[in-house]
Amino acid sequence: MQKLLQLQDFGGPGAKTLDEVRREAAQGGCSSTGGSGKASCGSGAGQGDLSPEVWDKVKNHPCYSEQAHHHFARMHVAVAPACNIQCNYCNRKYDCANESRPGVVSEKLTPEQAARKVLTVASTIPQMTVLGVAGPGDPLANPGKTFKTFELVAETAPDIKLCLSTNGLTLPDHVDRIQAMNVDHVTITINMVDPEIGAKIYPWIFYNHRRIEGVEASRILSERQLLGLEMLTARGILVKVNSVMIPGVNDKHLVEVNRAVKSRGAFLHNIMPLISEPEHGTVFGLTGQRGPTAQELKALQDACEGEMNMMRHCRQCRADAVGLLGEDRSAEFSTDKVMEMEVEYDLEARQAYQAKVEQEREVIARAKQAELAKLADETSAIKIQVAVATKGGGRVNEHFGHAHEFQIYEVSTTGAKFIGHRRVDLYCEGGYASADGVEPIIRALNDCSAVLVAKIGVCPKDSLEGAGIEAVETYAFEFIEKSVIAYFKDYLERVGKSEIRHVVRGDADIRQGAFIET
């Protein structure tokens, strides 16, 4: 409490009072006006009850707005190799697992190479709106390279939002610079507020020129994380908190973490599943620490959603990821290729493209509301989950066999809500079904009653239906949420006529292992 009362002292120009910070946080992240009441971040397409200032910051940020993530892309530049702590879910040979899954080594860049890459990507992908520095180590353990990159990009591409992700250990030392550089979005990974639990996650930190181990290390880390969070929110900088859910270690404790970060003004909470494959060589991977199932993750996110809005569309992406959150185009932009590509950074063209996307989003929102209105007289208590194959744009537009992931919606008479995604191996490679067949995909979608696709072959359709998952092509190329609601209405009608029987589905797998674009 003492710390909270000091908040206004941290504020620079434009600083907010603690009450203002709390009010904004209590409004629930990106939007609380989704069709299902208090929804996951950004479920409403519009501004909802956010202030114009906050709306402007989140409306085209794919991580801070669920709706935006269907349309807008982010890119990361891997300029930050060093780290100042050790997490038991990280292998230093790989990217920072706080913000990017282990298993994929990034190409390290100098700030100058990074700035050139940003301009090149911005010239090629007009919907790329955000530059994030998220690793492969900790951006604030490499402040020179991180801030130099931001400085170069701000000079040449002022419309690109700057974003960083940190473990928070040195965050309080850098808040002035973060504010001065107009970095409006900061992510802090906070896995505990109890150092005894922290000691099971962090073996050591490197702080004030010395290595500190055990509970003392986690006590310092936690204090610095929470102080940094308070300092940022007092200045109106939007803070997202990432937490890795580690069953048996911090899963129950994360409800307490959620309360702690909400009370300090965090805008959004992103609880991510632990990834701990043995081949990653992490402590948790080698000791057999498992990650959560889909139902365990959802139950925790639901429990915390009563407290504040949750991000559920995180893809735990690489430190050099490029593209929409569900895709990775980093291979198109290797340093060699970037140096050969022409840069035609056209601000007006980018803005025109983005204005079109905004218009499309409004059309999508109206279509959803119109479909929802058709459910107005329904009183059924049935709630189901529906998977969707999409390659972006907010439409059901992916072939089942070409899907790298499926987006999962929960739907009831109150509306449709995005609740997560399931990464899968491609079912169809080079025209042939994968060696593993459809079984791993069925396990990933096992909690869903249906999967909406642009197209599906007879064999996988039969297999899915044998497992109780209806494969539906009826909504090919239509808007996702409208389609999910329309499917649900049809589902209720068929249940009402006893054409089908409503079945409560079981649990599903969250696929482990890194995503590598093929």
226 three-state secondary structure: helix
| Residues 228-267 within binding reach of ligand CLF (CB under 6 A) | 240
Cβ proximity to ligand CLF, 134 vs 454, nearer residue: 134
40: DSSP letter: S
Place of tokens 């969070």: 229
Minimum distance of ligand SF4 from residue 154's CB (angstroms): 25
- Which residue's CB comes closest to ligand CLF? 132
CA separation for the pair 467, 446 (Å, rounded): 8
Residue 132 makes contact with ligand CLF by CB under 6 A: yes
**Summary count for the chain: helices (H), strands (E):** 17, 18
Record the tokens describing residue 263, joined without a space: 């009370």
CA separation for the pair 473, 469 (Å, rounded): 13
The interface region with ligand CLF, picked from 260-268, 299-307, 308-316, 366-374 by CB under 6 A, is 308-316
CA separation for the pair 172, 228 (Å, rounded): 5
Cβ proximity to ligand CLF, 76 vs 417, nearer residue: 76
The upper half-sphere exposure of residue 501, i.e. CA atoms within 13 Å in the direction of its Cβ, equals: 4
Residue 45 makes contact with ligand CLF by CB under 6 A: no
The residue type found at 435 is A
Record the tokens describing residue 487, joined without a space: 């499917």
Task: Measure Cα distances from 501 to 181, 411, 485, 496, 504 in Å.
Answer: 57, 17, 18, 9, 10
Pick from 368, 375, 377, 444: which is nearest to 405 by CA?
444
Q: Which class for 410: exposed (0-12), middle (13-18), buried (19 or more C-beta within 10 A)?
A: buried
Place of tokens 């002292």: 9
CA separation for the pair 400, 174 (Å, rounded): 46
Q: Per-residue contact track with ligand CLF, 368 to 387, x per CB under 6 A?
A: --------------------
Minimum distance of ligand SF4 from residue 166's CB (angstroms): 8
If contact means CB under 5 to 8 A according to the sort of partner, which of ligand SF4, ligand CLF, none does residue 76 touch? ligand CLF
Record the tokens describing residue 215, joined without a space: 């509970």
Residue 309 makes contact with ligand CLF by CB under 6 A: no
Pick from 46, 128, 107, 103: which is nearest to 278 by CA?
103
Select from 25, 118, 130, 492 the one that contacts ligand CLF (CB under 6 A). 130
| Residues 68-97 within binding reach of ligand CLF (CB under 6 A) | 74, 76
190: DSSP letter: -
Task: Give me the residues paired with residue 388 across strands.
Answer: 407, 452
Minimum distance of ligand SF4 from residue 399's CB (angstroms): 35
If contact means CB under 5 to 8 A according to the sort of partner, which of ligand SF4, ligand CLF, none does residue 137 touch? ligand SF4
Cβ proximity to ligand SF4, 138 vs 320, nearer residue: 138
Task: Give me the residues paired with residue 472 across strands.
Answer: 452
Minimum distance of ligand CLF from residue 328's CB (angstroms): 10
377-403 burial code (b ≥16 CB/10 A, e <16)? eeeeeeebbbbbbbbbbbbbbbbbbeb
Minimum distance of ligand CLF from residue 416's CB (angstroms): 21
Residue 423 makes contact with ligand CLF by CB under 6 A: no
User: How many residues form the binding site for ligand CLF (CB under 6 A)?
Assistant: 18
The residue type found at 29 is G
State how beta strands 128-133 and 204-207 pair: unpaired
If contact means CB under 5 to 8 A according to the sort of partner, which of ligand SF4, ligand CLF, none does residue 193 touch? none
If contact means CB under 5 to 8 A according to the sort of partner, which of ligand SF4, ligand CLF, none does residue 165 touch? ligand CLF
Q: Per-residue contact track with ligand CLF, 196 to 235, x per CB under 6 A?
A: ----------------------------------------
Binding positions for ligand SF4, rule: CB under 6 A: 83, 85-87, 90, 96-98, 137-138, 167
CA separation for the pair 96, 81 (Å, rounded): 9
The interface region with ligand CLF, picked from 33-41, 245-253, 310-318, 499-507 by CB under 6 A, is 310-318
> Residues in the chain, how many?
518
Minimum distance of ligand SF4 from residue 281's CB (angstroms): 12
If contact means CB under 5 to 8 A according to the sort of partner, which of ligand CLF, ligand SF4, none does residue 90 touch? ligand SF4
If contact means CB under 5 to 8 A according to the sort of partner, which of ligand CLF, ligand SF4, none does residue 167 touch? ligand SF4
The interface region with ligand CLF, picked from 205-213, 315-323, 356-364, 446-454 by CB under 6 A, is 315-323
Q: Which residues bind ligand CLF (CB under 6 A)?
A: 63, 74, 76, 99, 130, 132, 134, 163, 165, 185, 187, 240, 270, 314-317, 325
